[in-house]
Amino acid sequence: MYVCLCQAVKDSEVRQAVASGVEDVDQLAEALGVGTGCGSCRDFAQSLIDEALDESLAYAA
């Protein structure tokens, strides 16, 4: 599913970025351009980041 239509970024790309060390939407913007167009995806992108971080912590435990 697309997270950012302006930059055509999918949720799988967000999860991959989190696996590579991205921890917040500002870092995601630097890495993939998410939220740098209209900005309407920033809250959703942050929720996906949080979800992916929670999953990675649960997996590590």
pLDDT digits (tens, 9 = 90+) for 46-60: 999 999 999 887 776
2-60 fold: Arc Repressor Mutant, subunit A (1.10.10)
Quote the CA–CA distance of 53 and 8 in Å, as a whole number: 22
pLDDT at 58: 78
Total residues belonging to the chain: 61
Alpha helices (runs of H) in 1-61, residue ranges in sequence order: 11-19, 25-32, 42-60
Quote the CA–CA distance of 61 and 13 in Å, as a whole number: 24
pLDDT, one tens digit per residue, over 18-36 is 999 999 999 999 999 999 9
pLDDT at 61: 63
Least confident segment among 3-7, 40-44, 51-55: 51-55
pTM here is 0.90
